[in-house]
Structure 1
Amino acid sequence: MRKKAIVCVDDESIILDSLGEQIKNIFGDEYLYESAENAEEGLEVIEELAHEDVDVLVIVSDWLMPGKKGDEFLIEVHKKFPRIVKVMLTGQADEEAINNAIKNAELHAYISKPWSAGDLERVIKTGLSKIENKG
């Protein structure tokens, strides 16, 4: 059986640590957890995992990052890996960026910072159920 992963991208390591801890508390060892500190690194992580036959199921990305913004990053991910469920987690994104990600990256959900573990769990689980229903 292929391994499955959840990837988080944020330029703040404390956010990545917190997300990783919450995801591990929710799912245990059911999924690999990988992180990246910018869009370029995030894409590299996803491509490396794909090369290793690991299915990236969900990506949680910040919007305001140095270099490429989260909506642009998620659109790029969507073009290469359309089945990945995309979630934007941010306190900074404007409505135009969110709409851009919805329209061009099939954004599954938007979560505002600070977020609750319950919101994170609900959004990831509904995203995972979308994948399962698609087969």
Structure 2
Amino acid sequence: MSTEKAILCIDDERIILDSLKTQISREFNGEFTIEVAESADEGMEVIEEMVEDGVRVLIIVSDWLMPGMKGDEFLIGVHQRFPEIVKVMLTGQAEEQALERAFNEANLYKVIKKPWEKEELIGVIKSGLEITS
């Protein structure tokens, strides 16, 4: 039986989430469930629900600057509970310190700068998927 696999995108801007979901969905054509969340709290809820349902979350693409909890804190929290998930930060303005913390404490895989190029996004996801198998 094949396990359902998912990619989760987190950003507080709906337009960015829609764009990410569209680009990733087109590239992988139904191979993965693409979930979105508009905050770190919602992101953690989505992960917990998917894990409970037996869905394997492979990659998280998270914004850094979000209301409530910043992306580095969120990814560190995710890493403590789900170390196998590949973590990517998508940001226009992350502080150097925050990125360093995310690399050190969340095993951050890559940083993609906003505005991103679709090719870079897909390339990072594909290379991230290689380390999840």
C-alpha deviation, 1:91, in angstroms:
0.1
Moved beyond 3 Å, runs of 4+: none
Q: Which runs of 5+ in 2 are unaligned?
A: none
Per-residue displacement from partner, 1:112-135 (whole Å, max 9, x unpaired)? 000011000110011100112xxx
Cα distance in 2, alignment partners of residues 28 and 95 from structure 1? 35
Cα distance in 2, alignment partners of residues 92 and 70 from structure 1? 11
C-alpha deviation, 1:17, in angstroms:
0.1
Cα distance in 2, alignment partners of residues 49 and 63 from structure 1? 22
Query: What is the TM-score when the length of structure 1 is the normalising length?
Result: 0.97
C-alpha deviation, 1:38, in angstroms:
0.3
Aligned CA RMSD, in angstroms, stands at 0.4
Query: What is the TM-score when the length of structure 2 is the normalising length?
Result: 0.98
Aligned residue pairs, count: 132
C-alpha deviation, 1:25, in angstroms:
1.1
- Asked whether 1:69 is paired with 2:70, we answer yes
**Structure 2 partner of 1:116:** 117
Q: Which runs of 5+ in 1 are unaligned?
A: none
- Asked whether 1:58 is paired with 2:59, we answer yes
Cα distance in 2, alignment partners of residues 71 and 26 from structure 1? 27
C-alpha deviation, 1:73, in angstroms:
0.1
Could you tell me the percent identity over the aligned residues? 58
> Match of 1:3, as an amino acid?
E
